[in-house]
Structure 1
Amino acid sequence: MSVKSIYPRTGLKGEITIPGDKSISHRSIMFGAIARGTTKITNFLKGADCLSTIACFRSMGIRITEDTGSIIVHGQGLRGLSAPRGTLDVGNSGTTTRLMSGILSGQSFSSVMSGDESLNSRPMGRIIKPLTAMGAQIASVHGNNCAPLKITPGKLHGIHYQSPVASAQVKSAVLLAGLYADGETSVTEPALSRNHTELMLRSFGADISSKLHEDGSATARIQPCRELYGQMIQVPGDISSAAYFIASGLLIPGSELLIRNVGTNPTRAGILKVCEAMGADITYLNSKNTDSRAGEPTADILVRYSRLHGTVIGGSLIPALIDEIPVIAVMAACANGTTVIKDAAELKVKETNRIDTVTENLRAMGADITPTDDGMIIEGGTDLRGARIKSRLDHRIAMAFAIAGLIAGGETVIEDSQCVDVSYPEFFATLNSI
């Protein structure tokens, strides 16, 4: 077990560039692999999860190389994957597992996916159900709706799936299977989840559309595809990684941080709305509505210390910030007044049950927090104290409480700090540079 000690800081100053977006990095490898021709990816995130995706596609015969910092995927077309010799190792990556299930459901060979202990305890029934409805032959090896998953060839047909949850991973799995189906496939979700799949598939040549309904639900539709075509992808900075530095700039007196080239896709940028609601001093510079090479808006984000106040976070905003809730909870503990986080039961099925891990660790630091079935209630304004933080191998817990340690009195120790490598290997180095 590796541990990292964090001590209080004052007046953070500087300019940083954060690593590429994890969600977009995953998709660029996957879509490049099943496209015809070469896909060149710049600012690719070399975190453990994304490297698992690369390893899986290499196991299926896709040549993936590196040239002057760019990742080159030599795609073999929609039906160009080959049977892997052994089990596909997805590591700790739920994104790899769920999205690749959609792609593998349309292949002419059998495959098995398995990951580490954490991954193999996460629920996969949410993708097994719609993929099975499409005709996929997908089964949980141990019969517990978790990985390992075994997928055997089956003839796919288009369906309309009414998803009970707003989940980009569920939606993406179904849409990717839809590329191989015999007719239109559509997914309606109760709120619009992150839409990286729709944007990038469109740039690769897929016939895909989406519609936001008056009641807040959203439907994405895709037509069967003959071929996708390789693209140039510039991955924007990951807003989930930027969130920790946004929080540190807002919480530490005298701070002013400029965070370059951050993806500001509205389906991911819920934390920016929360910061605004809490009274944050944030300025957007060099905003670009769309980067044509990834279909994603970006901006430089200037953050200054602010006296934050509590707010209510819930409803359709939750899918746009679900990964940022641990660090939002830290912000709430330092803000004046009460913050209520609700409609976030999805937190229970992440790398850890994040309602429990956030509650456990904030209480250890002296915060007033009450867990609920679908979120938490935080009474802000209590001075945090240094504590021993149990990350439980959850990268977002480790990073969120490293930021809490910058504000807390005394030493904060992050257990299993190496887990940040999943999404942000340079996190502690960047933190020390400002």
Structure 2
Amino acid sequence: MPTPLLSRRARPLTGTLRVPGDKSISHRSLIFGGLAVGETTIAGLLEGEDVLATAAAMQAFGCAVERGADGVWRVHGRGVSGLDEPADVIDCGNAGTGARLLMGVAAQQPITTFFTGDGSLRRRPMGRVMTPLSQMGVQFVTRAGGRLPGAVIGPEVLVPIEYTLPMASAQVKSAVLLAGLGAAGETTVIEPKPTRDHTETMLRHFGAEVRVEALDGGGRRVTLVGQPELTGRPVVVPADPSSAAFPAVAALLVEGSEVTLPGVGTNPLRFGLFETLKEMGADITLANPRTEAGEPVADLIVRAGRLQGIEVPADRAPSMIDEYPILAVAAAMAEGTTVMRGLEELRVKESDRLGAMARGLADCGVRVEVAGDDLIVHGGGNGVAGGVTIPVDLDHRIAMAFLVLGMVSEEGLAIDDAAAIATSFPGFADLMNGAGAAIAPGPEAA
């Protein structure tokens, strides 16, 4: 059954808000722990539905994965190309990252692995992963259009390749590199625009040899030496900057707010939203910068203030692709027009996020336009009327973005189903309510 939520005008948001662990790093820590020899300990793992689906998948591959009473997860790996053939279908739920990375894992050895997911994931394109993996000798049987459910059939001998990404996608890059672990020789991925580099960082952390070369025009050439022996390692998962974006923008918009978000990952290939918000005039301070398990982190101190509309260039999209829904909310409250360029990837996320944000903002009375792959939001600087219910189409980030907008609405704002929020940010409503928000069960914003 759907679980609608109603978000009303908030009091000033205050306090220290601990957001969940980074989803991208959580997926990868479980996967690399399973591909390593020995024990991997993971502190701060995101215990959302997406990541728990990946934990179950690694168990299906024969790895021991368990959560200790201390909250630390422990993975006893099987080594590269040492996994079992799963006895049943692997259900990735809503996790596009989990599905695409696990397809790379399944490609490493001559086994057959069946994948499926929820209604949203079964609509998402897997052909972008299937194309390079097919060049390595992997076979696929899927629904029309390369969509799940489907089977990944690993070859007897995996062929290393050099592959140029046709789009900026860390998921595709990671799938190829994960498959390349099982190939003799070097596997290379050339990306025209840099994407999040958590896979490269974690490969090195577990003992693989990875070379990264900067290319003319801003791209990168990433080369992995195949068939390494990965060794179990401790991993500390930073707070997810994509999740931190929601309380951060809420604090910027709700007058009188000041919140601290501790231990947030500040990897520059993931931090584009906060760079953009600062260009809009946001009061955001990075305190206590440090490095944990190879990843930069800091405590974010966010204070409310006025925002100005700006133009966000297309080349920034890879560093903030998951944050455009909440940026669009910030833009609706800014003074002047914000233009977000080059958002074609938003059309193939958990939902068509470009269309969903444009329709939802328009329903709230915001002037918004979609021009090709650009989103143009005309901010009024004075809040929105609200009084509507937004369909979120199983998309956690659309759901949270409109709950934040509800905090500065005149009449309250509802979402039709909050269930998907648990995929990345379990406890979101409770955390925000503890800081001063007013989110409660409710079928309509009236």
Smaller-chain TM-score range? Answer: over 0.9
SS of 1:258's equivalent in the other structure is: strand
Which residue of 1 is the match for residue 274 of structure 2? 272
Which residue of 1 is the match for residue 406 of structure 2? 405
- Equivalent residue runs for 1:105-124 within 5 Å: 105-124=107-126
SS of 1:407's equivalent in the other structure is: coil
Cα deviations by residue, 1:82-140 (Å, 9 ceiling, x for unpaired): 11111111111111111111111112211111111211110111111111111222x24
Instruction: Determine the C-alpha separation between the residues in 2 that align with 1:58 and 1:197.
Output: 21
Instruction: Determine the C-alpha separation between the residues in 2 that align with 1:211 and 1:8.
Output: 49
Instruction: Determine the C-alpha separation between the residues in 2 that align with 1:327 and 1:70.
Output: 31
Structure 1: any 5+ residue segments left out of the alignment? none
- Equivalent residue runs for 1:145-160 within 5 Å: 145-154=146-155, 155-160=157-162
Q: Is the 8 A contact 1:140 1:147 kept in 2?
A: no
Which residue of 2 is the match for residue 338 of structure 1? 337
SS of 2:147's equivalent in the other structure is: coil
The answer to whether residue 212 in structure 2 is matched with residue 213 in structure 1 is no
What letter matches 1:384 in structure 2? V
- Equivalent residue runs for 1:246-325 within 5 Å: 246-288=248-290, 290-291=291-292, 293=293, 295-325=294-324
Which residue of 2 is the match for residue 194 of structure 1? 196
SS of 2:17's equivalent in the other structure is: strand
- Equivalent residue runs for 1:40-189 within 5 Å: 40-67=41-68, 68-137=70-139, 139-154=140-155, 155-189=157-191
The correspondence for 1:235, drawn from 234, 237, 254, is 237
What letter matches 1:235 in structure 2? V
What letter matches 1:66 in structure 2? R
Give aligned pairs, total: 430
Q: Is the 8 A contact 1:314 1:344 kept in 2?
A: no
Cα deviations by residue, 1:360-393 (Å, 9 ceiling, x for unpaired): 1111111010012213111111631122111111
Q: Is the 8 A contact 2:137 2:154 kept in 1?
A: no
Which residue of 2 is the match for residue 326 of structure 1? 325
Q: Is the 8 A contact 1:192 1:212 kept in 2?
A: no
Cα deviations by residue, 1:33-85 (Å, 9 ceiling, x for unpaired): 01000000001001000011011111121111111100100111112211111
SS of 1:148's equivalent in the other structure is: strand
TM-score computed with the length of structure 1 as normaliser: 0.97
Moved more, 147-156 or 247-256: 147-156
Q: Is the 8 A contact 2:314 2:340 kept in 1?
A: no
SS of 1:337's equivalent in the other structure is: strand
When the two chains are superposed, the root-mean-square deviation of aligned CA atoms in Å is 1.1
What letter matches 1:417 in structure 2? A
Which residue of 1 is the match for residue 442 of structure 2? none
Compute the displacement of 1:426 (Å): 1.0
Cα deviations by residue, 1:243-284 (Å, 9 ceiling, x for unpaired): 001101111111111111100000100011101110111111
Compute the displacement of 1:225 (Å): 2.2
Instruction: Determine the C-alpha separation between the residues in 2 that align with 1:12 and 1:265.
Output: 26
Identify which of structures 1 and 2 has the higher relative contact order when contacts are C-alpha pairs closer than 8 Å and 6+ apart: 2
TM-score computed with the length of structure 2 as normaliser: 0.95
Instruction: Determine the C-alpha separation between the residues in 1 that align with 2:357 and 2:231.
Output: 43
SS of 1:298's equivalent in the other structure is: strand
SS of 1:17's equivalent in the other structure is: coil
Which residue of 2 is the match for residue 389 of structure 1? 390
SS of 2:21's equivalent in the other structure is: coil
Structure 2: any 5+ residue segments left out of the alignment? 436-446
Instruction: Determine the C-alpha separation between the residues in 2 that align with 1:91 and 1:418.
Output: 12
What letter matches 1:368 in structure 2? R
Instruction: Determine the C-alpha separation between the residues in 1 that align with 2:141 and 2:195.
Output: 26
What letter matches 1:131 in structure 2? L
Compute the displacement of 1:226 (Å): 3.1
Cα deviations by residue, 1:147-168 (Å, 9 ceiling, x for unpaired): 1221123121111111111100
SS of 1:141's equivalent in the other structure is: strand
Instruction: Determine the C-alpha separation between the residues in 2 that align with 1:273 and 1:100.
Output: 31
Compute the displacement of 1:218 (Å): 1.4
What letter matches 1:39 in structure 2? T
Q: Is the 8 A contact 2:115 2:151 kept in 1?
A: yes
Moved more, 205-214 or 415-424: 205-214
Which residue of 2 is the match for residue 34 of structure 1? 35
Instruction: Determine the C-alpha separation between the residues in 1 that align with 2:12 and 2:113.
Output: 52
Q: Is the 8 A contact 1:338 1:378 kept in 2?
A: yes
Q: Is the 8 A contact 1:192 1:316 kept in 2?
A: no
SS of 2:143's equivalent in the other structure is: coil
- The percentage of aligned residue pairs carrying the same residue is 41
Q: Is the 8 A contact 1:366 1:383 kept in 2?
A: no
Moved more, 300-309 or 382-391: 382-391
The correspondence for 1:226, drawn from 223, 228, 236, is 228
What letter matches 1:390 in structure 2? P
SS of 1:396's equivalent in the other structure is: helix
Cα deviations by residue, 1:281-322 (Å, 9 ceiling, x for unpaired): 11110011x21x2x1000000011111001111232100101
Instruction: Determine the C-alpha separation between the residues in 1 that align with 2:116 and 2:350.
Output: 15
Instruction: Determine the C-alpha separation between the residues in 2 that align with 1:372 and 1:149.
Output: 35
Compute the displacement of 1:338 (Å): 0.8
Cα deviations by residue, 1:381-430 (Å, 9 ceiling, x for unpaired): 16311221111110000001110000011121111112100100110011
Which residue of 2 is the match for residue 22 of structure 1? 23
The answer to whether residue 432 in structure 2 is matched with residue 431 in structure 1 is yes
What letter matches 1:132 in structure 2? S
